Amino acid sequence: MSVTEILPTNASNPTNASKLALEETTMSVTEILPTNASNNASKPALDQIEWVRQAADVRRMLRIPFFVDLKTKSLSNQEMRDFFLQYYSIVKTSYRMLAAGILNSQPEDADSISHLVRFLETESGGETTHLAYYLRWAEHFGISKDELAAAQPNHKSRAFEDILMGYFSSHDSFVHRAAQLGLEDCAQVLIEGLDQGFKKYNIPTRAYGYLMVHLLLENDEDGHSRWAIDSLANAPELEKRLEEFQAIYRRVYDAFEDAFNGIHDDWQRKAKH
C-alpha cells in the first residue's frame, strides 16, 4: 500500500513530476519537483509534501519483524512487559515534545504556537488523557504505574526520545512542523499495527482506549495528518527547505522503526537465555 492511502492530500491527480518522482526515487528532490508554476501557491506545496510522503513509504513499518511477530504470535509475559516498558518512551514523548515545541517557539509566532497547542490538547486535554489510557492498557497486562516510572529505556527507545525532543527543542517552527507530519504519518501506521497485534487478546474496552482513541484520531481525514499537512503547506519556506523536510520526515520514520526494532532485539536476546 502506498502512503496515498494514509491520507490523500489535495493532490488527487498526480502531476507528471510526481509520477516521474515515483519511478526515479534515487534522484534528489530538487531535480524532479515542480517549481511554483501555478497561481495557486498551495497546490505545488501540497504536491511536494505528497511526493515526500509517498517516497518515504511509512507503511513499510508494518513489515518489520516486530509488527509481524506481534500479529502472528502470542506474546509471552516477558515479551509483553518489554513492549509496555519500552513503548512508554513513545507515549511520554508524544506530549513532552509538544510542550517543548511550545516553549521553544517564538512568542510572536502565534500560528505555530496554536498549532502545537491544538495537538497537545488532544493528547493531554479532556477527561482521560492519552497517557492515562496507556496506564489502563498496561495495567490490564499486569504492569503498574510504578513499574512504568522505573522503566529503563533501551538505547533505541532513548534515541527515539532524544531525536524527537531534539526537533521540538529547536527554535525553528519549520522543524516542528516537518517532524510533526512525520510523526502523524508514522502514528497512523503503528497504531494500525498495534491494533492488528492486540485484538487477539480480548481486552475490555476500558483497557483498549489508547488504541481506540488513536485509531479514531489518526484515521480521521480531517484529523491529525490533515492539520500537519496544512500547517507545513502554509510554511513560507517550504519550497526552499524541501530537502530538509524530507530529511526530518525520514529521520522521524527511522526513529520509530528503530524503537520497535529495539523491542524486538530485547525479545530475541532474552529468548536465547
Which residues bind to Fe ion, rule: CB under 5 A?
Answer: 94, 123, 130
Closer to Fe ion by Cβ: residue 49 or 217: 217
In angstroms, give the least distance from the CB of 96 to Fe ion.
12
The Cα 193–Cα 176 span in angstroms is: 25
Neighbours of 184 (CB within 10 A): 23
Closer to Fe ion by Cβ: residue 20 or 132: 132
In angstroms, give the least distance from the CB of 92 to Fe ion.
11
Closer to Fe ion by Cβ: residue 123 or 230: 123
Which of 88-93's residues contact partners 24+ apart within 8 Å by CB, and which partners? 88/134, 88/138, 88/148, 88/151, 88/153, 89/153, 89/157, 89/158, 89/160, 89/161, 89/259, 90/157, 90/160, 90/256, 90/259, 91/130, 91/131, 91/134, 92/131, 92/161, 93/160, 93/161, 93/164, 93/165
In angstroms, give the least distance from the CB of 270 to Fe ion.
28
Q: Which residue is nearest to Fe ion (CB)?
A: 130
Burial of 208 (C-beta count, 10 Å sphere; 0-12/13-18/19+) = buried
In angstroms, give the least distance from the CB of 42 to Fe ion.
28
Closer to Fe ion by Cβ: residue 47 or 123: 123
In angstroms, give the least distance from the CB of 64 to Fe ion.
21
Closer to Fe ion by Cβ: residue 130 or 264: 130
Closer to Fe ion by Cβ: residue 10 or 128: 128
H helix intervals, the chain: 16-23, 29-32, 42-56, 65-72, 77-104, 110-124, 130-140, 145-150, 155-168, 173-198, 205-219, 224-233, 242-272
In angstroms, give the least distance from the CB of 91 to Fe ion.
7
